[in-house]
Amino acid sequence: MPKVSKLLVVDDEKDLCLMLKRLFERKGNYTVITSNSPFEALRIIKEWRPDVVITDVKMEGMSGIDLLKEIVKLKLVCSVIVITGYGTVEMAVEALKLGAYDFIEKPFDNTKVFHAVNRAVERTRLLRENERLTQAVKTEYDFYGIIGSSQPIQEVKTLIRQVADSDETVLIRGESGTGKELAARAIHALSRRSKRQLISVNCAALPENILESELFGYEKGAFTGAVNDKKGLFIEANRSSILLDEIGEMPVSLQTKLLRVLQEKEVRPLGSTRNVSIDVRVIASTNRDLEEAMANGSFREDLYYRLNVVTIYMPPLRNMKEDIPLLAHHFLKKFSIQFQKEGITLSEDALICLSQNSWRGNIRELENTIKRAVLLNQTGKIEAQDIVCNQNSQGNRPCGNVLFDELLSKSYSVAKKELITNFSIRYIENVLSRTKGNVTEAARISGMERQALQRLLRQYGIKSSHFK
């Protein structure tokens, strides 16, 4: 059952108010309150919080422009449509500058007003959803940059908390783009070493000889060009943590030296005859299959067991799709600020498109997709057609159990309805699975009222008892 939208009509012409009330209650799913006094309307707005306010410009005691200013001061998320008579178009333009969504000139066509209000309701809904998700990103779902509330990411957060304050070596594994470096930084931030900087080195980015000197340092004259002593990164990381990113790409000869560092807790700079004691917590990460690497001799088995004290697996995005809206809004906010395009929103169709993509590049691919969409956006709203997503191996982007090619053979309204229905069922079933059928908790995670979720359960024939 569609949600009932709340409309407030403010005009000192009682007949006009009555006509609009009848129009919207007859043609749309609206609850309509009318007011002939802007002062009374302001009280109603504070208490009732309508989705849309239609107000005339010229009224006794307070103009529609002043009423708009008061609404803006309240910082309520609603859309205001201004009705203007002949000769007051300049006032309507001023209203748009102050934050009104639209203005309509008298005399007006009923169909035009109806469509304008429908668009305004959709705008309000998107703004409120964006506000909810943005707030969620700021609070309980943002864990040192790791965004999400799905079961896989909650398990990662729990494990990070458990291991952070120890000195044990941690191996972070996962596909490219899953946020392994963020996990490492969260471990360091929660540790007793957090007052000192986390030292990070990409083992795949440097040639073997340079990586060796970077990690272990060297003394003056150790090799041609060594004109001064250089501290290695292990010494720099003393009493802190070091992240060895892409550890699976480290040459075998350096793996032997690293193993000695882990065992002896000391390093020997190149060209030196003495060892330097260190107190360093090692965090390593890789997207490589280390078991296969050990089998073919490119990764030492003894080093693997030294590193693999605690292993954290970062889940691929396809296993935490319910987090895609949160992640999308996080990146939307980030890049809206970066490109000075605050106020951009994601349409419902765009969110569905994002949620149904396979994301082989995981969170990094999603981030770059949102970045591109924000950079190129000219309208203030990102639509489905603005989202550039990878295709799957069959050439069709999956949307739940329905492929786009199948939908394209149907009318737009039918295809959209099937797409939303399929996504809604999958989303609700996923959340209920995580909460073991607890409808109250599922509603909280989904950002819905419990009654609204129960209506959806009845609508789609989903029984919460099946998930207990």
Q: Which of 344, 369, 390 is at the close of a domain?
A: 390
pLDDT at 85 over 80: no
Residue type, 89: V
Scored b (16 or more CB within 10 A) or e, 161-200 reads: eebbeeeebbbbbbbebbbbbbbbbbbbbbbebbeeebbb
Q: Over the stretch 438-449, which tens digit does the pLDDT of each residue have?
A: 888 888 887 788
User: Which of 36-50, 243-257, 278-292, 348-362 shows the lowest mean pLDDT across its residues?
Assistant: 348-362
Q: CB atoms < 10 A from the CB of 461, how many? A: 7
Is 7 in a helix, a strand, or coil?
A: strand
Looking at residue 329, which CATH number applies to its domain?
1.10.8.60
> Could you tell me the residue range of the domain that residue 411 belongs to?
392-468
129, 260: one domain: no
* Same domain assignment for residues 101 and 11: yes
H helix and E strand count, the chain: 19, 20
Q: What are 170-179's pLDDT values in tens digits? A: 999 999 999 9
pLDDT at 259 over 90: yes
Tell me the backbone φ, ψ of residue 105, rounded to 5 degrees: -85, 140
| CA Rg value for the chain | 29
Pair (33, 116) in one structural domain: yes
* 35 in the same domain as 70: yes
Work out the pLDDT band at 373, boundaries 50, 70, 90. Answer: very high
The CA–CA distances, whole Å, from 157 to 162, 270, 312, 339, 378 equal 9, 39, 10, 31, 37
| Tens digit of each residue's pLDDT (9 = 90 or more) over 111-136 | 889 988 988 998 888 778 766 666 65
**What's the rounded Cα separation, in Å, for the pair 108 and 35?**
20
Order of strands across the sheet with 199-202? 199-202, 240-245, 280-286, 170-173, 310-313
Q: Is the pLDDT of residue 377 over 80?
A: yes
Cis peptide bond prior to 107, omega within 30° of 0: yes
CB neighbours of residue 120 within 10 Å: 23
Mean predicted confidence (pLDDT) in 75-82: 90
What CATH number does the domain containing 73 carry?
A: 3.40.50.2300
Asked which of 263, 281, 315 is the last residue of a domain, the reply is: 315
In whole angstroms, give the CA distance from residue 384 to residue 252.
47
Same domain, 61 and 167: no
Q: Are residues 87 and 56 in the same domain?
A: yes
Average pLDDT along the chain = 85
CA distance 10 to 307: 69
- Supply the pLDDT for residue 391: 40
Last residue of a domain, one of 106, 138, 170: 138
Same domain, 166 and 292: yes
Could you tell me if 295 and 161 lie in one domain?
yes
The tokens describing 340, both together, are 């000075």
Judge if 380 and 401 occupy the same domain.
no
Cβ atoms of 187 and 237 within 8 Å: the answer is: no
**What's the CATH code of the domain at 171?**
3.40.50.300
Please give the pLDDT value at position 1. 40
CA angle (57, 58, 64) in 5-degree steps: 40
What pLDDT, in 10s, does the model give residues 282-323?
999 999 999 999 999 999 999 999 999 999 999 999 999 888
Same domain, 163 and 306: yes
Q: Tell me: pLDDT of 219 over 90.
A: no
Same domain, 270 and 418: no
Q: What is the pLDDT, as a whole number, of residue 89?
A: 64
Q: In terms of domains, do 157 and 263 share one?
A: yes
Q: Map residue 224 onto helix, strand or coil.
A: coil
What's the structural domain count of the chain?
4
Give this prediction's pTM: 0.59
